[in-house]
Amino acid sequence: MDNTAKAVASPTLDPGQEPWVGLRRFTAARIALGRTGGSQRMTTVLDFRLSHARARDAVMAPFDIDGVRTRLEHAGFAIQRIATGVADKKTYLVRPDLGRQLDVSSRTQITSLASDWGQRDLVIIISDGLAAQAAERHAEETVTRLAGLLVGAGWTLYPILLAPFGRVKLQDEVGELLGARHSLILLGERPGLGMPDSLGAYLTHRPCAACTDANRNCVSNIRPEGLPPAEAARKIAHLLIESARLGLSGVALKDTQAANGLSDQAL
Amino acid sequence: MSFATTIGRTRHTFPSLGTLLAKATPLRSGDVLAGVAADSAEERIAAQLCLADVPLARFLEDLLIPYETDEVTRLIIDTHDRAAFAPVASLTVGQFRDWLLRYETDAPRLAALSPGLTPEMVAAVAKLMGNQDLVLVAKKCRVVTAFRSTIGLPGRLAVRLQPNHPTDDPNGIAASILDGLLYGCGDAVIGINPATDSVAAMETLLRLIDELVHRYDIPTQSCILAHVTTALQAMSRGEPVDLVFQSITGTEAGNKSFGFNLGILAEARAAALSLKRGTVGDNCMYFETGQGSCLSANAHHGLDQQTCETRAYAVARAFKPLLVNTVVGFIGPEYLYDGKQIIRAGLEDHFCGKILGLPMGVDVCYTNHAEADQDDMDTLLTLLGVAGCNFIMGVPGADDIMLGYQSTSFHDSHYLRQVLGLRPAPEFEAWLEKMRIVTNGRRLLPVDGKHALLANHSPAHDLPSTRS
């Protein structure tokens, strides 16, 4: 029965077809890859490189802000462009602090617009974040559906703000300057290997400079293969409405939602 | 008292020991972000010149974070062993670097010295050491720990099997565990980062691994990387907890932001010890660290990230862990910008942990927004193998689909074992041979569909029939 030596010398199995390949239906992990010697085969190496190349391209791609603007305007939204303290990709990657704040002229701009617009319930900010194509592909549908749900529930919205090179905390300064009850930022998430266009949404009740991540609620992985935009819009609307009802957001809101799991479907 | 040196006609002054350490640190983005990095390349070397002349004993008097306000500082000072420190007590930081590189400074001397060193002394000397110094001295250190397998023996390299799944699906996790075992990995720990930090989720996963480990009599240990308080709850409910996990930092404020203090770690370790689940040893803690964690929690007290990181090792060593893992490239480019910075930081952390007596492993990893790729990871992996790293991660295809970053693959461990002649932990090696997964310690055998691991495990029941 001892065929070990023979098996090592001339494998009878094609190592590219591991017998546990069927386990792949339980996970998207890269299992049963096979091997050449103890190393990865050419085909799985190249497959990995392609995924990484796509993720890198997603991080570095410029934001087609005009395209997003045009689509949102066609959908009937008023749009305002604003700027953070960042003007280029490299600075964006190494200076998260600058992506969290408005540049000086945008601060002035928003302060003056605030009096024209008056107090409203929600400001929505869209940014490229770490994956511009996430905002380009999914922001318009998410916002359109979300606005439909919220306006139907009697909410008032500010014009939508497009903010290249934004970080999540940007919503605090913007929301505070406007005096918005809620702020919501939609931005491209850090791309994983298999998902270069995942959009994230973060909402905060009574946004202000002192807010931290503990004050926010997050809906992530918004993309057709993850949480589709229509479903994400329902989830965000539910969180916002609950947040308004309870007068808070963040950890405490999450607990409440877990306790009322059914109301998610009711919305 | 400030520090100063003159280079040509320029006088460089540094107002405090903390500033001096920060400015002497090799360039990295996190220190620039914190505003503590040197302003120029020359200022960095001026700081290194000054630091080389600072007596090691100074670090026992000039505390970077006050004793009164920080329990990590109190831990460092209260547990410092003056007798162990004696052989290097008269040296400066620069002289200490030279002392470490002497032929006579061997493993027993380094082990004896370890309780006499504070993290700040170690962080300081690391800043003056080149990459080859960090490799050479780490290689001389020997730190061996044990639970159901023995980690850190000479000529051995262990692997943490990391079978994460985005929704903690038990079948998905089991599939990745089988994959790792069939590729000969899992001797350091089978360690899962749960997507949900809850007692219920932890219990499901604990039982999954416990059942597997018992059914196949696998000489390894499990760990669910949930919060320490979650593990405490699970243990109080009688769940099969092998190793207790916690992410730790080097300051009391940083640890507070992570929701624990030293007292909670002591309580958790006592609870895990009382379960007596180890067979060849009782090291029952697993800690993770990483440069930048204090700054990201705004708990760095104006210190550089490498100094804060090394202080975390004082926290770790107080609890005799089985494994300490620096997750070096996970935090992103705002802390470690590119492959060069990640490689340097990985070598620093491994050296600093080892010389402080810790069983160091490294998650050789990067994110997609860092300027790094697989070639950088191959380089760091090779260097760490040469440096005698206790363990690395094993993630299917190097792609963690839950945490969204790239680490090392099961295959990567076979690369390292081949080029450096390294074998798995001895108990696990014997099991791999018995299961006909590996022969001669490091050569994988072909596995067919009738293999015991595939034939009995529930997800495998649905496998296509065996190929001939």
The predicted complex's ipTM stands at 0.94
Res A254: pLDDT: 65
Interval A119-130 mean pLDDT: 97
Instruction: Say yes or no for a CB contact (<8 Å) between A192 and B404.
Output: yes
Q: Is the pLDDT of residue A10 over 80?
A: no
Q: Which of B192, B196, B338, B368 to mutate to test the interface with A (most CBs of A within 10 A)?
A: B368
Res A4: pLDDT: 44
Res B196: pLDDT: 84
Q: How far does B72 lie from chain A, in Å, by closest CA?
A: 25
Strand pairing partners for B246? B287
Question: At B464, is the pLDDT very low, low, confident or very high (cuts 50, 70, 90)?
Answer: very low
Q: Is the pLDDT of residue A15 over 70?
A: no
Share of chain A above pLDDT 90, in %: 82
Q: Which of B32, B167, B171, B179 to mutate to test the interface with A (most CBs of A within 10 A)?
A: B179
Res B463: pLDDT: 41
Q: Is the pLDDT of residue A224 over 70?
A: yes
Q: Which of A14, A24, A40, A212 to mutate to test the interface with B (most CBs of B within 10 A)?
A: A40
Q: Is the pLDDT of residue B284 over 90?
A: yes
Nearest residue of B to residue A59, measured between CA atoms = B369
Strand pairing partners for B392? B159, B362
Res A262: pLDDT: 35
Question: At A265, is the pLDDT very low, low, confident or very high (cuts 50, 70, 90)?
Answer: very low
Q: How far does A58 lie from chain B, in Å, by closest CA?
A: 9
* Geometric angle at alpha carbon A237, from A231 and A240, rounded to 5°: 145
B290-326 pLDDT, tens per residue? 999 999 889 999 999 999 999 999 999 999 999 999 9
Interval B57-70 mean pLDDT: 98
Measured over the CA atoms of residue B265, residue B267, residue B273 and residue B275, the dihedral's sign is negative
Share of chain B above pLDDT 70, in %: 97
B370-401 pLDDT, tens per residue? 999 999 999 999 999 999 999 999 999 999 99
Q: Is the pLDDT of residue B97 over 50?
A: yes
Interval B108-113 mean pLDDT: 98
Q: Is the pLDDT of residue A173 over 50?
A: yes
Ranges of each domain in chain A: 60-266
The answer to whether B321 touches B285, Cβ cutoff 8 Å, is: yes
Nearest residue of B to residue A192, measured between CA atoms = B404
DSSP label at residue A41: P
Could you say which of A29, A39, A58 has the minimum Cβ distance to residue B411? A39
Give residue for tokens 């050789």.
B364
Res B54: pLDDT: 98
Instruction: Say yes or no for a CB contact (<8 Å) between A38 and B174.
Output: no
Q: Is the pLDDT of residue B130 over 90?
A: yes
Helix segments in chain A, DSSP class H: 4-9, 42-60, 65-74, 89-94, 96-99, 104-117, 132-152, 170-178, 229-246, 251-259, 263-266
Q: Is the pLDDT of residue A13 over 80?
A: no
Mean pLDDT estimate for chain B:
95
Could you say which of B369, B399, B459 has the minimum Cβ distance to residue A26? B459
B443-456 pLDDT, tens per residue? 999 999 999 999 86
Question: At A252, is the pLDDT very low, low, confident or very high (cuts 50, 70, 90)?
Answer: confident
Res A16: pLDDT: 63
Q: How far does A182 lie from chain B, in Å, by closest CA?
A: 25
The answer to whether B137 touches B129, Cβ cutoff 8 Å, is: yes
User: Which backbone phi and psi does A77 adopt, to 5 degrees?
Assistant: -90, 145
- Give the separation between CA B264 and CA B321, rounded to whole angstroms: 15
Could you say which of B374, B411, B454 has the minimum Cβ distance to residue A19? B454
- Give the separation between CA B293 and CA B255, rounded to whole angstroms: 10
Res B276: pLDDT: 97
Res B147: pLDDT: 98
Q: Is A29 helix (H, G, I), strand (E, B) or coil?
A: coil
Res B442: pLDDT: 80
Q: Which of A23, A197, A213 to mutate to test the interface with B (most CBs of B within 10 A)?
A: A23
Q: How far does A223 lie from chain B, in Å, by closest CA?
A: 15
Instruction: Say yes or no for a CB contact (<8 Å) between B396 and A33.
Output: yes
Q: Which CATH number is associated with domain A60-266?
A: 3.40.50.11240
Question: At A9, is the pLDDT very low, low, confident or very high (cuts 50, 70, 90)?
Answer: very low
Q: Is the pLDDT of residue A5 over 90?
A: no
Mean pLDDT estimate for chain A:
90
Q: Which strands, in side-by-side order, build the sheet including A216-222?
A: A79-81, A160-162, A122-127, A182-188, A199-205, A216-222
Res B465: pLDDT: 36
Q: How far does B314 lie from chain A, in Å, by closest CA?
A: 29
Instruction: Say yes or no for a CB contact (<8 Å) between A190 and B373.
Output: no
